[in-house]
Amino acid sequence: MANNTRSLFFLLITLTLVSLPPYHEFAFDFFKLVQQWPPTFCKLHRCPRPIIKTFTIHGLWPDNYTTFLDSCTGNSFHMFKNTAFVQNLTVRWPNLDYYSNNRRFWSHEWEKHGTCSENLYPQEAYFNLTMQLYDRLNLLEVFAKSNISPGASGNQLLSRLNNSLVAYTGKIPDFKCRPGPSTTTLIIEVVTCYNSSGTAIDCPVSQLSNSCKTQSLTGISSFETHYPTQGLQMSR
């Protein structure tokens, strides 16, 4: 009898442990790959010179369709031992902020975002996946196919960029803008979305940024340099 009670007790403990709900921080549905445009970032922040003239990685953000994920519980960042890997990251995922550095930038991105997909992608795998997705989508090349280059501006720029990217990926992207001088708006980031295995998907409509469509704007601002008095631009 005592034995039976003990078995029941252990059975209950085991069932309790096994049936604990999964950590909410691991409940990510999809990834957002956020690429930033340094000429715009560096208009708004102090950057080391020379300013990089290609889209670079801001981050890969695991998210959930209904619940915003960030700063999940997970392992803290450790610096990579493989110098070739660090070199690869340095080219694709450089810190742009004069007051920070690569290590701090990567550590921040890992702790704020990477930990939310750590169940599937431990640190090295997460950074590796991010670089692979980035390498698959060279935004400047894609835009060039539609004759859009840095310096482009005008009311139609947002839809031109969008059409160009949709034609290439077949999926709905997202764009983020920041106010520039006068009544201009500058493209700062382009977001593409992926399922948890890294296949491109539409970015969820409910989570699209409306930052490129501010009221004062009749269009998108430039990819950079000279500012039209209104409209969107892609800084040069």
Ligand X SMILES: *[C@@H]1O[C@H](CO)[C@@H](O)[C@H](O)[C@H]1NC(C)=O
Among residues 24, 108, 113, 224, which one is catalytic? 113
**Separation between Cα atoms, residue 150 and residue 12, nearest integer Å:** 64
Decide if 113 is catalytic: yes
Q: What is the closest distance, in whole angstroms, from the C-beta atom of residue 197 to ligand X in the complex?
A: 4
Around Cβ 40, how many Cβ atoms within 10 Å?
26
Which of residues 64 and 138 has its CB atom nearest to ligand X in the complex? 64
Which of residues 4 and 68 has its CB atom nearest to ligand X in the complex? 68
Q: Single out the residue of 51, 53, 54, 88 in contact with ligand X (rule: CB under 6 A).
A: 88
Q: What is the closest distance, in whole angstroms, from the C-beta atom of residue 235 to ligand X in the complex?
A: 19
Using CB under 6 A, count the residues that bind ligand X. 23
Q: Which stretch in 11-19, 44-52, 137-145, 194-202 sits in contact with ligand X by CB under 6 A? A: 194-202
Q: Single out the residue of 155, 162, 169, 214 in contact with ligand X (rule: CB under 6 A).
A: 162
| Secondary structure of the chain in HEC code, one letter for each residue | CHHHHHHHHHHHHHHHHHCCCCCHHHCCCEEEEEEECHHHHHHHCCCCCCCCCCCEEEEEEEECCCCCCCCCCCCCCCCCCCHHHHHHHHHHCCCCCCCCCHHHHHHHHHHHCHHHHCCCCCHHHHHHHHHHHHHHCCHHHHHHHCCCCCCCEECCHHHHHHHHHHHHHCCCCEEEEEECCCEEEEEEEEEEEEECCCCEECCCHHHCCCCCCCCCCCCECEECCCCCCEEEEEEC
What mask of x and - would describe binding to ligand X in positions 52 to 81, judged by CB under 6 A?
------------x-xx--------------
Q: Does 218 participate in binding ligand X (rule CB under 6 A)?
A: no
Around Cβ 143, how many Cβ atoms within 10 Å?
22
Q: Single out the residue of 195, 209, 210, 216 in contact with ligand X (rule: CB under 6 A).
A: 195
Q: Does 24 participate in binding ligand X (rule CB under 6 A)?
A: yes
Q: Does 166 participate in binding ligand X (rule CB under 6 A)?
A: yes
Q: Residue 235 pairs with which residues in a beta bridge? A: 223
Q: What is the closest distance, in whole angstroms, from the C-beta atom of residue 5 to ligand X in the complex?
A: 36
Among residues 24, 25, 45, 58, which one is catalytic? 58
Q: Interface residues for ligand X in 93-152 (CB under 6 A)?
A: 124, 128, 132
Q: Which stretch in 8-16, 48-56, 142-150, 157-165 sits in contact with ligand X by CB under 6 A? A: 157-165
Decide if 58 is catalytic: yes
Which residues are catalytic, by number?
Answer: 58, 109, 113
